[in-house]
A = this chain, B = another copy of it.
Amino acid sequence: MKAPVTLIGAGNVGTHLGKRLRACGFSIVQVFSRELSKAQALAGELDAEAVNELSQVIAHEGLYLLAIRDDAIAEVAKSLSETGLHKGLFAHTSGATPAAVLQPYFERYGIFYPLQTFSTQRTPDFSEIPICIQAAGEADVALLTAIASEVGQKAVSITEKQRIGLHVAAVFVNNFSNYLYQTGESILKKEQLDFDLLLPLIRETAEKVRSLSPETAQTGPAIRGDEQTIARHLAYLQDEPTARRLYEMLTALIGQTRKA
């Protein structure tokens, strides 16, 4: 029998994960959100009960998924434990937060971290998402692995240090790349060109590293050491000090990989 799941949080991650768990045949016992309307909207889709008080969360020996803001995890965990919940496995979904924040409150605790970026406007394809898990005991590692294997592309059991590394790497490839897209967009805007022009290149850059390592995939003036083109680009950026500094730094860093 599949473990029952209680969803604490009805934001992006909670909503997408809840729907996926339900679609995979898991029973969602309750959905908690401080905003009752949000809890109700999601609970309705998941055949679950909606609650907006932590004291209403009922006890079972399954999984409690804390899909809430990083800075709310410790506080919510404390409140949950004060209501007398002790039997289940309590896991948060944050890549940024140590498992240890749950330790003072629960015997069984862990992390269930889908390595993906979620937004309300887009439906994630969980069959492609690796789910990173951490838990204290072997039985709980096995339980989270079983759930993550069904819900995601695969379950990856990681250490605390690996989780931090993954989260830092995620910031580089996601938030920072997105900032580079934003820089590209602002240059095109200045030239009265449509950002759409860059989309095929953005897509190909991302797809290329599925078959080539980023190191092998690198092209452009920095890796070629093409000083003439670099000088033209810096001249172009002379009135954009921010973009220019970033260009200089990344060009120097790519240049170092060339010399190495």
Of A2-10, A21-29, A39-47, A191-199, the segment with at least 4 beta carbons within 8 Å of chain B is A191-199
Q: A70 CA to B225 CA in the complex, in Å?
A: 12
Is the beta-carbon distance between B129 and A247 smaller than 8 angstroms? no
Is the beta-carbon distance between A130 and B200 smaller than 8 angstroms? yes
Q: A24 CA to B90 CA in the complex, in Å?
A: 59
Is the beta-carbon distance between A176 and B214 smaller than 8 angstroms? no
Is the beta-carbon distance between A182 and B218 smaller than 8 angstroms? yes
Q: A226 CA to B181 CA in the complex, in Å?
A: 22
Is the beta-carbon distance between A201 and B117 smaller than 8 angstroms? yes
Q: Which residues of B contact A122 (CB under 8 A)?
A: 204, 208, 211
A96's contact among B96, B170, B171, B229, by CB below 8 Å, is which? B229
Is the beta-carbon distance between B233 and A198 smaller than 8 angstroms? no
Q: In the assembly, how many copies of this chain are there?
A: 2
Is the beta-carbon distance between B208 and A206 smaller than 8 angstroms? no
- The count of residues in chain A whose C-beta lies closer than 8 Å to any C-beta of chain B is 94
Is the beta-carbon distance between A188 and B175 smaller than 8 angstroms? no
Tell me the A87-138 residues at the B interface (CB within 8 Å). Answer: 96, 115-117, 119, 121-122, 124-125, 128-130, 132
Is the beta-carbon distance between B220 and A174 smaller than 8 angstroms? yes
- Nearest-Cβ distance from residue A127 to partner chain B, whole angstroms: 10
Known: A153-B200, A182-B214. A187 touches B172 (CB 8 A): yes
Known: A172-B246, A178-B208, A180-B180. 6 other contacts (CB 8 A): A115-B198, A121-B212, A166-B188, A174-B201, A195-B209, A246-B250
